[in-house]
Structures are given as structure tokens and as C-alpha cells.
């Protein structure tokens, strides 16, 4: 066990170290280093060491500024999701035109520069009642495992077809799916098997694939509500979306997107059922094709995003800066002083870089 003196000493050292780093970042200056006077060639190695330290310090400062922006974006995103007083203050600040950005804090400046991202975050709302009567099934009853990879694809297809021909026999079926391109664009597809309606939309703001699947369910529920389709079964191949909706159903603090889906499902008697994807179920294959076509569709949907999508947006935007910092760090790491100094003239080669005269003036 550590003594109280050792604990306090360690704590004080950490505080001093963090204070020094904080002051260096605020002042935008590296920590000072003493440069010895250059009187002879052997001291070139000392200069190289100092230059290397300066570069490492600059790289560390760049990394800290990048991480500081990500941390600030994460905090703003959580305030936007909670729709609290801090978020209302940031909105009021954005309504004032002619604001000097140089006089604002990092949080205020970051919000104004990326307002369209933060305002698109789906808000959390408090509801009076649970929606336990809405049926959300993230698995199939006859499936003994929750992992799709552990079951043969033919078995999964037969289980899905058996479920549709027994439990959901003579009920309207609506299939949903989502797709995401390598460039980050997302598309959603909805297929109404009853009347052959096909819907495909490209999302304006990039999201994760699970968020896109949830938004596809929301579009399908809007189609069901507008058409007045009752006792339908909505079929999706996204287990994370089903689990998210089931968890929201059992909570009074609910995501606004999930609340919209569940309220419409309750009003129209809709069941949300998971089925395995890419197992040659006809309706699911059609919805998958629509989602892929939506990546290049002309119609773009003004969509909400979830808090983790907003955080991922800033992390991906800063990825290039972090990669640049890391490459610079790797380039310097492990190099010997001889490699850093390089080859000099003939007079310097007579005295190796590790040689130092005993009598030299500082």
C-alpha cells in the first residue's frame, strides 16, 4: 500500500505536469529549452537533440488540439441530445448575427461552425407511458442462436419463410433495408409487398448503418400511417435496430425517432420483426436492391442523426490530422543522433559526433 505522503506527492506532480501542458497549449508556445552556444562541430549533436525535442513538442501540441476538439464536440453532442439549457444558450448565440468568432470559446465556435450537424441530432424526450403492447421481435422463435454466422444460410431462409407463412400469414408485409457506400453516403429502401410500392431515398447526412436501418423503419412506418395499413408486419434485417426499439419501448426517456416509430406502430397495430438478411428472401432482396439504388438517387431525405453519428463525424474529420501527427512521430522515433545530424564536412568527420572537447565555452 502507498503511504499518504506518496499519494499526495504523486498527485501534486500530475497537477503540475497538466498545468504546464495547459499553459503551453493556451499560449500556443512549446515548452522552453535551453540552447547551448554553438562553438564547435561536436555540439551539432546537441542542437539536433534540441530540434528533435521541439518537433516532438509541436507534434504533441497538435495532437492535444485535435483531441480537445473531439472532446468538445462530444460534450456539445450530448447537450444537444438532452435538449437542455446549454443547448438553448448555444442556439441563442447562433441567432445573433455579426458575432466575433475570435471572442468566443472553443465550444461556442465549434457549435456555430457545425451547427447543421448538432441541430440534426435526435432529441431525447420524456414520455408518460411505456409502449409494452408494441411487438418488437429481434429474433425468431425457432432460431436457437442469436448469431447468424452460426447457422447455415439455407436453414435461415427456411426459418424465415416458415415464420412468414405461419405466424404472419395473410398480414401485409413491408420490408426495409439500408446501404452505405465507401464514400459514406447512405441510402434506404422500403418495399410494400401488398401493393408493390417501392421507396428509395438517399440520406442527406451520413450515419452509421444501424442508424440508417432505423431511419428506414421510420420511413416505412410513415408509409403505413399515411396509407392506413393496419395489422401489418414490418420486416427488417437489422438486429441492432430492433434491439434499440425494444429498449426504447421499455423506457420513459426515449429517442424522438424511436418514439415516432413506436407511436405509429401502436396506432396501426404494426409488428416489427427481424429476419436474416441475404438469405434469398424475396422481399428483403428487393428492399436491399432499392437501398443500393438510393445511393445515387435524386431524392435526398433531410434526416436526423444519433449522437454517436455526430461524434463519428468529428473523429473522421480529424483522422487526417491525427495520422499526420503519428507519421511525424514515427519518422523521428528510434533514429540515432548520427542519422539526425547527417554527414558533415571533413573537419567534422575527424571528430565523431559522440566526441566532445573537455574545454569549451558555454
Q: At what angle do helices 256-268 and 239-249 cross, to 10 degrees?
A: 80
The pLDDT value recorded for residue 6 is 74
Average pLDDT on 281-293 reads: 96
Q: Do the bridges between strand 186-192 and strand 197-203 make them parallel or antiparallel, or are there none, so unpaired?
A: antiparallel
What is the pLDDT confidence band of residue 90, given thresholds at 50, 70 and 90?
Answer: very high
What is the pLDDT confidence band of residue 49, given thresholds at 50, 70 and 90?
Answer: low
Q: Is the pLDDT of residue 268 over 80?
A: yes
Q: Is the pLDDT of residue 32 over 50?
A: no
The cell for 300 is 435526398
The pLDDT value recorded for residue 202 is 96
C-alpha 87/C-alpha 66 separation (Å) is 23
The pLDDT value recorded for residue 14 is 77
C-alpha 141/C-alpha 159 separation (Å) is 9
Residue 316 vs residue 150, higher pLDDT:
316
Q: Nearest-5° angle of CA 145, CA 147, CA 153? A: 95
What is the pLDDT confidence band of residue 62, given thresholds at 50, 70 and 90?
Answer: low
Amino acid at each position: 500500500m502507498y503511504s499518504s505522503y506518496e499519494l499526495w506527492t504523486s498527485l501534486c506532480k500530475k497537477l503540475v505536469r497538466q498545468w504546464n501542458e495547459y499553459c503551453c497549449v493556451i499560449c500556443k508556445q512549446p515548452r522552453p529549452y535551453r540552447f547551448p552556444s554553438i562553438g564547435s562541430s561536436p555540439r551539432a549533436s546537441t542542437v539536433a537533440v534540441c530540434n528533435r525535442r521541439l518537433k516532438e513538442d509541436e507534434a504533441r501540441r497538435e495532437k492535444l488540439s485535435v483531441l480537445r476538439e473531439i472532446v468538445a464536440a462530444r460534450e456539445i453532442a450530448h447537450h444537444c441530445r438532452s435538449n437542455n439549457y446549454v443547448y438553448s444558450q448555444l442556439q441563442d448565440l447562433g441567432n445573433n448575427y455579426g458575432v466575433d468568432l475570435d471572442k468566443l470559446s472553443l465550444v461556442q465556435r465549434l457549435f456555430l461552425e457545425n451547427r447543421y450537424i448538432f441541430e440534426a441530432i435526435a432529441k431525447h424526450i420524456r414520455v408518460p407511458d411505456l409502449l409494452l403492447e408494441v411487438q418488437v421481435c429481434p429474433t425468431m422463435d425457432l432460431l436457437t442462436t442469436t448469431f447468424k454466422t452460426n447457422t447455415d444460410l439455407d436453414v435461415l431462409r427456411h426459418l424465415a419463410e416458415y415464420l412468414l407463412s405461419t405466424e404472419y400469414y395473410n398480414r401485409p408485409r413491408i420490408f426495409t433495408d439500408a446501404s452505405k457506400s465507401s464514400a459514406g453516403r447512405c441510402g434506404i429502401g422500403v418495399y410494400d409487398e401488398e401493393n408493390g410500392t417501392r421507396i428509395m431515398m438517399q440520406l442527406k447526412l451520413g450515419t452509421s448503418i444501424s442508424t440508417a436501418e432505423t431511419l428506414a423503419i421510420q420511413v416505412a412506418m410513415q408509409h403505413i400511417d399515411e396509407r392506413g395499413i393496419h395489422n401489418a408486419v414490418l420486416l427488417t434485417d437489422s438486429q441492432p435496430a430492433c434491439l434499440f426499439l425494444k429498449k426504447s419501448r421499455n423506457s420513459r426517456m426515449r429517442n424522438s425517432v424511436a418514439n415516432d416509430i413506436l407511436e405509429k406502430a401502436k396506432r396501426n397495430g404494426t409488428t416489427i420483426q427481424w429476419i436474416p438478411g441475404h438469405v434469398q428472401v424475396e422481399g428483403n432482396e428487393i428492399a436491399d436492391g432499392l437501398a443500393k439504388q438510393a445511393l445515387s438517387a435524386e431524392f435526398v431525405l433531410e434526416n436526423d442523426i444519433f449522437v454517436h453519428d455526430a461524434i463519428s463525424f468529428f473523429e473522421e474529420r480529424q483522422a487526417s490530422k491525427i495520422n499526420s501527427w503519428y507519421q511525424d512521430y514515427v519518422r523521428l522515433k528510434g533514429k540515432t543522433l548520427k542519422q539526425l545530424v547527417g554527414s558533415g564536412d571533413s573537419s567534422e568527420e575527424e571528430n565523431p559526433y559522440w566526441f566532445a572537447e573537455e574545454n569549451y565555452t558555454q
